Structure 1
């Protein structure tokens, strides 16, 4: 229910606190892979913290400050996309993602992120959509490229993850650019 087809048996749908057991099982399956560049897996160390993480996004959604969605293949949660930051007043938001190995190489993130950007631009009137990725996370920067985003720069060693400082690439697409990109 409330799912959008991504093709090939995959769907994009809601991810809510009541789904914490499913979410935690997914994180456990992909913990090492998911945690390479982002702290998402660290935020779900047990069922309680997984539920709290999903609740934080339910609270963000209620405040119109963020949202989280799951990607399922044949009913199994394999990743997701989210708005970690959503600011309707400024017309700026950020889209992010994660994926376990079972979902890699299918174009799921590109299609799901495109759906989020469509909604942000067309329905909510967002003017600027950002994508942040660790410099070494080539699959993530490749998604930004496929989405027609422009690499704006690098925040040098701004992100500490597992004891190592990482650079973060900032990519973005503006509403007129997104609309032109969709037409191609």
Structure 2
């Protein structure tokens, strides 16, 4: 299910509940502080969806938001997109993210004709790496000190599925 700006209160409450688990990996865990900041992020993805350049989806368990998946980038002209994910600790180990990502990958490749689906993650994020491997991504390399996050220059692993 897509996450829309009208769901900002729910998204803000979710981030507040799982903030500590997200902080090591997700920049918006620091910036989603209330309904307004949640709405701004969700609106940015609504705008990306309208421009065919990204989209955000919630992962729900028994009607409760537990995580999400997104096309962080989506460039139909170049045939390249990037998938991102997050999940509440209590929802891990059920295959929720793997199933949601399989839908995103299949849609990108089979419906939209993408030639490359990327997965970028911190080399210290064992959960993310394991998910990329389960989904059939190939580790292409590591960009050293690729981006600044929380006052630290971080490495990023590049994983991809190509057709």
Q: TM-score range by the shorter chain?
A: over 0.9
1:11-50 Cα offsets, whole Å, 9 max, x none, are xx11100000111110000001011112021231221010
> Partner of 2:55 in structure 1?
67
> Partner of 2:117 in structure 1?
129
Q: Considering only aligned residues, what root-mean-square deviation do their CA atoms show, in Å?
A: 0.9
Structure-1 separation of matches of 2:112 and 2:20:
35
Structure-2 separation of matches of 1:142 and 1:101:
15
Aligned pairs (5 A) from 1:73-112: 73-112=61-100
> Partner of 1:4 in structure 2?
none
Aligned pairs (5 A) from 1:23-172: 23-172=11-160
TM-score, normalising length: structure 2: 0.97
Asked whether 1:21 is paired with 2:13, we answer no
Q: Which runs of 5+ in 2 are unaligned?
A: none
Instruction: List, as ranges, runs of 4+ consecutive aligned residues in structure 1 with deviation greater than 6 Å.
Output: none
Structure-1 separation of matches of 2:87 and 2:152:
22
TM-score, normalising length: structure 1: 0.86
Counting matched residue pairs gives 163
Stretch of structure 1 that moved more, 106-115 or 52-61 = 106-115
Structure-1 separation of matches of 2:88 and 2:116:
28
